[in-house]
Structures are given as structure tokens and as C-alpha cells.
Amino acid sequence: MDFPPRRILVTGGAGFIGSHIVDHLVRSGHHVGVIDDLSSGLEENLPKGVEFFEVDLKHREKVGDVLADFRPDAICHHAAQVSVSRSVRNPAVDAETNVLGWLHLLEEACSVGVKRVVLAASGGTVYGETPVPATEDWPPSPISPYGIAKRAGERYLEFFTRERGLEGVVLRYGNVYGPRQNPHGEAGVVAIFCQKLLLGEAARLNDDGRCERDFIYVGDVVRANLLALLAPLAQPYLTLNVGTGLATSIRQLEAELRHVLSQVAGRSFPSPIKGPRRDGDLLRAVLNPGLARDELGWVAQIGLRQGLMETAQWFYQRAVHSEPQASPQPPLQPETLVG
């Protein structure tokens, strides 16, 4: 994946997925700028050599100033209000970032001649139940304000590619996991289980852990983004699933993670406890990744065991180095299985 150096702006670049993309772009010799308001991201996630703009996308003028200053060739949009439950409690707050902030970025991008924009979208919240792995033409049925805003974001990008000459790629993710994921969020079941187990607590399996998800390692998501940002496109607007096509139940995931963690830490971890079925949890959310292979030559390369091993090692190292805890941690949220 060798592409000539470009100027690339990553929004949400101090967050979980965005910071991994930034790492790879910097290592590949690109000139990288980051917009992030640090509401959930951490400045320490950013490697040296990045131009960092601490800006909230809600402030259009500031977004315009950054774009006029940095002049990116392409934008990789990962900044978002990522909490589904917060979006349910307060849809307007969700839309301020996920709809209006996004529109500010698109408008300002067009005014400085940005060529391509990649949008981090959500397979799990856009498709709903998927008895078979969903292809991109599966009828969208977002239910939460978060999912509705993500879907609206896709349509806005389509509009801007049609009317304003941008190239746009929508990447609909499965359940992304890996190092640096926030265990205090609500969507990262792998991070939440890692954190719980390392604290000596049992993971809780709602509905006997029978819900199935498409777990995709963050390194694979990074490769999809690099291709979406830099590879030639057959069409100016593309929507692509970024998943494995494989269903893993939460029960299987927990067992595999406990196995891997016990190898990493050299000790055993408590067996899971049962929790009730929770309203709104999809039984099965799995994505068919065939179109991403055809359009970008992208296929997931990291299997679940390898990805969990990388993740477990990171959480274990972090737990070892942070003992004793310097400050109390916020309480763990119940794991919600969005993607």
C-alpha cells in the first residue's frame, strides 16, 4: 500500500480508531492534521509529527480556519458523539456533532478544494437485524438517534459528491476492537470485558451471551481507511462494509478472551455471570465484506484470536503499569453491542 505523500486531516484523531489511522498515516510519510475536541479522545494518543487542532466541530468558524490553514487533500472523518444511550436521552446533542458538525466539515472542505472524504459509519445501527451477512443494499433501518444521524451523514456525503464534486467513501464498520478502546464507553464489549476481568470481576453475559456480532480488529479498519483515502476509485461515491462476514456470539467472545488473557497474564479469570436480555439489543449483526474486496482489494487479515491477543496484551500492560490506581475510575457501563 504505497501511495505518494498527501495532506490528510483526521477528525477524531485522538480517539480509539482515529489515532490508529493517524499512526499509520504518519509512518507512511503523509502530512497529517488532527481535529479533536478531546471530549473522549486523549492527546497522548497522537504520535509526534502531527499538526493538532483542538477544535469542536460544532464551531463552524474554527473548522473553517483549520481547513484554510491545513489545506488537506483528503479528510478521514471519525469525530463523533459515539454513545447510543446518550443519543436516546438527548437526540439534539447527538445531532449537534453527528449531523451539524459533519455538515460544517463538508461545507468547509468544499470551500478549500478537498478532493476526498471518508466517513466512519456504523453497520450495526444502520442495518438492524441481519439473519444473513448484510450487503450494502440491505434496507437501512436505524432506530436510535445515533443510527439515524449516522445514516443522515451518509446521505449528506452522497449529496456533496453529487452536487459539489467531492469523492466520498462511506465505511460501515462492524464491532471494532483493539488497543486504546475506551472501556468506559458503551460500545466496546471487548474493552469492557478486558477491563472487568483484569479487575478480577466476572463479565456479564446478557441473554446468555447468544447475541452475535461481526468483530473486526482495528488494524484491519486502518487498512480499509488507507485504501479508501488513497486508492483510485471506480466511482465518486462508494458505500462499503468493513467487517469479517463471521458471526461470533458474545459467549464465544468472552470464552476466547478469557483464554487469551490467561495466557497473557499467567493466571485464570472468573467465569461469566448471566444477565437479562436487554431491550434494543440486536440478536445478529454481521456484515458481508465482498464489495470492499471488489472495490478496494480489502479483506480482513487479523483473525479473532490474534486480534484478541493484541488487545489483551495492551490492556494487561496498561493494568500492570497503572497499579495502584492514581484516581478512581468512572463506573463501567453495561455493554451495548453497537457496531
Ligand X SMILES: NC(=O)c1ccc[n+]([C@@H]2O[C@H](COP(=O)([O-])OP(=O)(O)OC[C@H]3O[C@@H](n4cnc5c(N)ncnc54)[C@H](O)[C@@H]3O)[C@@H](O)[C@H]2O)c1
Catalytic residues: 146
Cβ pair 270, 221 in contact under 8 A: no
Among 81, 161, 206, 311, binds ligand X (CB under 6 A): 81
Choose between 36 and 256: whose C-beta lies nearer to ligand X. Answer: 36
Asked if 24 touches ligand X (CB under 6 A), the answer is no
Choose between 117 and 176: whose C-beta lies nearer to ligand X. Answer: 176
Shortest distance in whole angstroms from residue 144 CB to ligand X = 12
Can you tell me the distance from the alpha carbon of 253 to that of 102, in angstroms, rounded to the nearest whole number? 34
Q: Which stretch binds ligand X (CB under 6 A): 67-75, 169-177, 254-262, 322-330?
A: 169-177
Choose between 44 and 137: whose C-beta lies nearer to ligand X. Answer: 44
The Cβ of residue 118 has, within 10 Å, a number of other Cβ atoms equal to 27
254: DSSP letter: H
The Cβ of residue 169 has, within 10 Å, a number of other Cβ atoms equal to 29
Among 84, 126, 169, 187, binds ligand X (CB under 6 A): 187
Asked if 80 touches ligand X (CB under 6 A), the answer is yes
Asked if 120 touches ligand X (CB under 6 A), the answer is yes
Q: Which stretch binds ligand X (CB under 6 A): 2-10, 16-24, 222-230, 262-270?
A: 16-24
Among 32, 67, 75, 79, binds ligand X (CB under 6 A): 79
Cβ pair 94, 145 in contact under 8 A: yes
| CA neighbours closer than 13 Å in the CB half-sphere of residue 190 | 34
Among 160, 173, 215, 315, binds ligand X (CB under 6 A): 173
Distances (CA, A) of 228 to 33, 168, 223: 17, 9, 9
What is the DSSP code string of 219-233? HHHHHHHHHHHHS--
Asked if 307 touches ligand X (CB under 6 A), the answer is no
Cβ pair 226, 157 in contact under 8 A: no
Among 8, 9, 10, 17, binds ligand X (CB under 6 A): 17
- Residue 21 phi/psi, 5° resolution? -65, -45
Asked if 75 touches ligand X (CB under 6 A), the answer is no
Asked if 168 touches ligand X (CB under 6 A), the answer is no
Asked if 82 touches ligand X (CB under 6 A), the answer is yes
Can you tell me the distance from the alpha carbon of 13 to that of 1, in angstroms, rounded to the nearest whole number? 21
Asked if 57 touches ligand X (CB under 6 A), the answer is yes
Can you tell me the distance from the alpha carbon of 334 to that of 192, in angstroms, rounded to the nearest whole number? 9
Asked if 39 touches ligand X (CB under 6 A), the answer is yes
Asked if 101 touches ligand X (CB under 6 A), the answer is yes
Tell me the pairing of strands 167-173 and 116-122: parallel
Among candidates 173, 117, 151, 128, which has minimal Cα distance to 289?
Answer: 173
**For binding to ligand X (CB under 6 A), which residues are involved?**
12, 14-18, 35-41, 56-58, 78-82, 97, 101, 120, 122, 173, 175-176, 182, 187, 339
